[in-house]
Amino acid sequence: MNILITGPPGVGKTTLLNKIKKKIKDMGYSTGGMYCPEIREGGRRTGFEIIDIASKQKGLLASTHNIKGPSVGKYRVNLDDINQIGVLALRNALKTSDYIFIDEIAPMELTSSSFSQTVWEVMESKKIVIAIIHQRSKHPFILKVKNREDAMIFDINLKNRDSLTDEILQNIASIG
């Protein structure tokens, strides 16, 4: 099963993902995958880290300070760290984790063809994948993921964000 969380920027998608991850860990299950928190300087977002959930290895996903790499908006994407940290985190999670978390499947990460291939492999597995997916993107891969028959999409907003943790956990329990 693939659980996809989508919603507008700043509504709490990553917070929701972290709450679900904590509850699953508290139940004794192992978690793996990757997440990409913001980097802020002087109150402004200047980039994103990429972190392996299991090993805690960190890298730089994208930054306004990068001078090389594909451009996505005002950011330059660091393909080396996507591949060496993000892709490796997902491959390791596929082998060793009960649940796989991805924050997020979005245009920056998708500048790496290895990332999209690995995400698809993970989603094809028998493992439960819980991923944040870019809401407005018309990227062909994102549309393909959203249209999977085994995907459950949860659209988070200000009204439902406090109740979605339990709703998603109930859906996971019903298949487990």
Instruction: Look at the block and give the residue holding tokens 């993921």.
Output: 145
pLDDT value, residue 25? 96
Q: Is 9 known to sit in a ligand binding site?
A: yes
Q: Which residues pair with 49 in a beta bridge?
A: 60
Listed residue (149, 152, 92) closest to 122, CA to CA? 92
Q: Is 176 known to sit in a ligand binding site?
A: no
Per the confidence metrics, is the pTM higher than 0.85?
Answer: yes
Q: Is 107 known to sit in a ligand binding site?
A: no
Domain boundaries, the chain: 2-34+80-174
pLDDT value, residue 176? 61
Alpha carbon distance 79, 86 (integer Å): 10
Name the E strands within 99-172.
99-105, 128-133, 151-155
Contact in structure between 141 and 110 (CB atoms under 8 Å): yes
CATH number of 2-34+80-174: 3.40.50.300
Q: Is 12 known to sit in a ligand binding site?
A: yes
Q: Is 11 known to sit in a ligand binding site?
A: yes
pLDDT value, residue 137? 84
Q: Is 10 known to sit in a ligand binding site?
A: yes
